[in-house]
Structure 1
Amino acid sequence: MKVFKFGGASVKDAEGVKNLSQVLTTTGEKDLVVVVSAMGKMTNAFEQVVTNYFDTKSEVPSALNEIVYFHHTILKELFTSVKHPVFLKVNQLITELSQLLDKNKSKQHPFVYDQVVPYGELISTCIVSAYLQEIGIENTFLDARDCIITDTKYRDANVQWDETQQRISGVVKKKGITVTQGFIASENTHNFTTTLGREGSDYTAAIFGYCLNADAVTIWKDVPGVLNADPRYFNKTTLLHHISYKEAIELAFYGASVIHPKTLQPLQRKEIPLYVKSFYNPTAAGTCVGKGVTLDPLISCFILKTNQVLISLSSLDFSFMMENHIGDVFRWLHEYKMKVELIQNSAISFTVCVDNKYDTLAPLLSKLRATFKVKWNEGVTLYTIRHASPSEIKKLEANKMVLIRQENRDTVQLVVKA
C-alpha cells in the first residue's frame, strides 16, 4: 500500500485531472490511497463564502454560483454528457452547503469555516473519482470524515490517533485504489466537520500512511522536488535528492513551503519514506525524505519570509527582563495569534520576529506598551540559512540593512529591512 497526495495546483483544471490519471497509469501502482485537495484556488473561493456569510449575506448566492460555474466548466471538459451522474452529485453537494448555511445558528467563525470550506475537497474528489471510473481506473470513493477523527479545535484540529487508526484500518481496502480528501476530518463529539489547518492535505496523506503502515507517501507537486531555495527569490537553485527526517523537520520548522510541518512526525515514527515529485515528470526520482544522510547534496538551504514584524521590548525602568516578563509576552503573542519566527534577548531587552498573519499587530502593540518600551519594524524580511558558508552569508548581507543576526552551529538567521 502506498499513498499519493495531489494538491490544488495538480487538479486546477480538466487537464490537471487528466494528468493525475496519467500519473497513476505511468507509475503503475495498483494499491493506493489517493488524497486530493480542493481544485485550484477553490479553497479561497469557499473562504470568500464564509466571509460573505458573516459580512454580506446577500452575496453568498453569487459566490456559490461562481463555485458551481468553475466546477461545471471542468466537468464539461471531462465528461461527454451533462447527464453523467457526477453533475447531479456536485449539484447535490452545493445544495447541501446552501441548506447548511440557511440552518446554521452558530456565530463562531472557526466552526462555520470548517463546515463550509471542506466542500472544496468533497467536490474535487467526487470529480476525480468519477473521471477515473469513466476511463477505466476502478476506485473507491471514501469520505475522510468517516476515518480521521479529531477534537473540536476548529480550523486546526488535533487527531485522535487511536480511533483514527481503528477506523482507517477497518475501512480502507488493502487492494485497489481509494480516492479521499485532504485537509478534512470530523470531531468525535457531535460529528461536525473539522479541518487540519491550511495546507493540511499533506498531513492527511501522512495520517493514512501511518495508519496503513504504507510503503511510502508521495506528494505530487509542480516542482521537481525539494529545492535548496525558493526559485521565486533565488536565481540559482539545486534539487535535494535526499533529506533526513531531522533535517526536513528543521527546514519545515523554519518555513520551507514544500513540506507541511505536521506531515513529517507520523512518518518518522514508522520510518515511512516521503517522496516529493513532479506531476509533470512522474518518472523522475524527485526528493526522498527518510533515514540516512542529512542532505544529498550537502549544500546550503535558504528560506525566506517576507512581510514580517520585528518587535523589540525593554522594561520601562531599565530593570532586567526576567522570566515573568517574557512569560507575559509569550502569552500575549499567543493571544493575538502571532507566530514567532525568531527570538533574541539580553539582560534588559527582548526581541521577536513575528508573522502578523491575522492582522492583530495594532492591539498587540497597545497591550505591550502598557508594560514595556516598544520599538518595531514592519515589512521586514527574515532569511534562514542552513549549513551556510561565511562567504554565502557575506554575499547575502551585501547592500542590506541587517537589523538582527543570529547564529548557531547549523543555522544563521538574518532580519533585514526591505
Structure 2
Amino acid sequence: MIIMKFGGTLMGSAQAIQHSAGLVAHTVQQGERAVAVVSAMSGVTDTLIKVAGSAENGDIAFANDELALLRNRHLNTAHELGAAPDSHTMLEIRELLETLRQTVVGVYLLRELSPRSRDLIVSFGERLSAPLMAIALQQLGVHAHNLTGGQAGILTDQHFGNARPLPEAFDRIPARLEGLFGAGITPVVAGFIGETKEGAITTLGRGGTDYTATIIGAALKADEVWAWKDVDGVMTTDPRMVPEAQNIQHLSYAEIMELAFFGAKVLHPLAVTPLQEHAIPLRVKSAADPSFAGTLITGKAVRNKPVKAVTAIRQVSIITVGGALVGVPETVAEIFDTLARAQIPVLMISQSSSMANVSLVIQNAYARKAMSELKAAFAKADLVRDFEFQENIAVVAIVGEGMRGARGIAAKLFSALAEEGINLLMISQGSSEFNISLAIEDRDVAKAVQAAHKAFELEKAD
C-alpha cells in the first residue's frame, strides 16, 4: 500500500497530470494498492482566495472574470486528457464550477466572507483537480474513482482554515476506501480538505495536501507515503540562495517538523504527526527522476552531521511589549492568552533578563492584528507602557538532531554570521535542542543562510 501525494505543479496542466498519473499507474500495474492525493492545479488556490476577497468587497466583475478563466482551464484540461463532452466526469466538473459560481455570488450579495465560506470556496481547487487525475488514470487503464476529503472519511474539528482530524477519522477512512480496493478501483482523493460532523467543508491549512496524504496513510497503515515534488527531495537549504545545496538522504520526523515550521516549504508542518504512531516512512521523491531515492523520513535520526539544514522564514515582524513586568507573571500570561484568543501564532519568544519586556516574532500576516489586540488588552494596565514594532525581519534556523549535546555549534554559527557583519536581533534554541533560530534584518537573510551553510559544510554530500 502506497499513498502518493501530488502538488500543484505536478497537477498544473494536462501534460503534468498525465505524467503524475503514469507514476500511479506504474505502481498499480506492479500489483501494489495505491491512493492518489492531489492538490489544486498550480495557482488555483491563490486565485480562489482573491475571488473570495473581491466578492466580499463588491467587485463581482473581477470575480466573474477569474471564474471564467478557471472554468476554461479545467474544462480544456479535461478535454485534453480525453474526457468526452457528455461524460459523467465532464458533467461533474461543470456542476462543481456552477456551485462555485453560486457560492461566490452569495458572498457578494451578503458582503460577508466567514471562515466557513472561505473554506468552501478554496476547497473547489482540489475538488476540481481530483476528477482530472481520475480521467488520466482511466486513460492508462487504471480504474479510478475521485472523492473529496470528507467522502474519503477525513472528519475534522470546526477550526475552519486550519482544521485538524478527529480520532474517528482513522476508523472512517478504511471503511470508506477498502470497498474501492476490493473492487479493483484506485481512489483519487482531493487533498487539503475534510469535513465536520455536520458535513461542512474544512481546510487543513496551506500545504494541507501533505497532511491529507499522511492522515490516509496512517489510517490505512500504508507501507509508505510518497510526496512527489518537482525537486530531488529535501535540500540542505533553498538552492536559489545556495546553488551548492545538496539533497538530504535521511531525516527524522522531528527534523522535518522543525524544518517545516521554520520555513522549508517542502512539507506541511504537521504532515508526519499521523505517521509516528505506526512508524510509517515518508519519502519525498522527484517526479522528474522517479528512480532517485529522494529523502527518506523515519522516526530514527541518522546523526552523520550535527546540522542537517539551514532554513529561513521571511516576512515576519518583532513586537516588543515593555514596562514594569518584574514580579508580575500574570502580565506575561495575559500576553499569550490574548494572542491565543485571536488565533495568532508566535514563531519565537524572548524575555529580557530583567523581565522588563517580552519580544515576539510573528508573521506579517498576523503582526498588525497582534499589535492591535495587545494594545487593547493592556489599555488600562499601568504596568505595560511600551509597544515596539519592527518590520522587515527574517528568521534563520539551523536544524539537526545531532546538535543535541554537541559543543561549539552556537559559537560556529555566531562566528560565521559575525564575519558577514550580520546583527542578531533575537536568539532562541528549542527545548529539543534540534534547532537554533535567529531573528535578523530581512536584507541579510541570503548572506546569513549562505554563511551558515558554508560554516557547517553542508555543500558536502551525505
Q: TM-score, normalised by structure 2?
A: 0.83
Distance 1:140 1:72, change over 3 A: closer
- 1:26-45 paired onto structure 2 within 5 Å: 26-27=26-27, 28=30, 30-45=32-47
Shift of 1:252: 2.9
Pairing 1:128–2:133 present: yes
User: 1:399 corresponds to which letter in structure 2?
Assistant: G
- Could you say which residue in structure 2 is the equivalent of 1:282? 290
Q: Percent identity?
A: 27
Partner of 2:451: none
> 2:58 matched to which residue of 1?
56
Measure the CA separation in 2 of the matches of 1:82 and 1:304.
47
Q: CA deviation at 1:369?
A: 7.1
Structure 1 unpaired stretches of 5+: none
d(CA) in 1 for partners of 2:437, 2:306? 19
Partner residue in 2 for 1:17: 17
Query: In the aligned structure 2, how far is the partner of 1:47 from the partner of 1:10?
Result: 21
Q: In 2, distance between residues paired with 1:160 and 1:29?
A: 32
Going from structure 1 to structure 2, the CA distance change for 1:381 and 1:100 (only over 3 Å counts) comes to closer
Q: 1:372 to 1:334 in 2, by over 3 A?
A: farther
Residue 360 of structure 1 aligns to a residue in which SS? helix
CA RMSD of aligned residues (A): 2.4
1:321 and 1:134 mapped to 2: Cα distance?
A: 70
One-letter amino acid of the structure 2 residue matched with residue 136 of structure 1: G
> Partner of 2:393 in structure 1?
380
Count of matched residue positions in the alignment of Structure 1 and Structure 2: 414
Deviations 1:296-331 (A, max 9, x none): 55544211111211122221xx45163211111112
Q: Give 2:412's aligned residue.
A: 391
How far is 1:106 from its partner? 9.5
- Other-structure match for 2:8: 8
Measure, in 2, the Cα distance between the counterparts of 1:159 and 1:332.
25
Q: Determine whether 1:270 maps to 2:294.
A: no
Q: Is the 8 A contact 2:410 2:436 kept in 1?
A: no
How far residue 218 of structure 1 moved from its aligned partner, in angstroms, is 0.8
Q: 1:170 and 2:172 equivalent?
A: no
Which of the pair is proportionally richer in strand? Answer: 1
Is 1:139 the equivalent of 2:147? no
Mapping 1:76-91, distance limit 5 Å = 76-79=79-82, 82-91=85-94
Aligned residues of 1:228 and 1:299 also touching (Cα < 8 A): no
Q: Which residues of structure 2 form unaligned runs of 5+?
A: 404-408, 444-462
Residues 171-186 of structure 1 mapped to structure 2, 5 A cutoff: 171-173=176-178, 174=181, 176=184, 177-186=186-195
Greater CA deviation, 8-17 or 91-100?
91-100
Indicate the SS of the match to 1:402. coil
- 1:367-411 CA distances to partner (integer Å, 9 max, x unpaired)? 377433122311111111124564344223422222223346443
CA contact (8 A) 2:148 2:193 kept: no
The answer to whether the aligner puts 1:227 opposite 2:248 as a matched pair is: no
Structure 2 equivalent of residue 363 of structure 1 = 372
CA gap of 1:135–1:381, structure 2 versus 1, over 3 A, is same
Residue aligned with 2:391, SS = strand
Given candidates 109, 126, 130, the residue that maps to 2:114 is 109
Q: Which residue of 1 aligns with 2:339?
A: 333
Q: Distance in 2 between matches of 1:247 and 1:400?
A: 26
**SS at 1:352's partner residue?**
strand
Change in CA separation of 1:51 and 1:188 when aligned onto 2, cut-off 3 Å: same
* Counterpart residue type for residue 7 of structure 1: G
Report the CA distance between 1:170 and its aligned residue: 1.3
**Alpha-carbon distance in 2 for matches of 1:376, 1:181:** 40
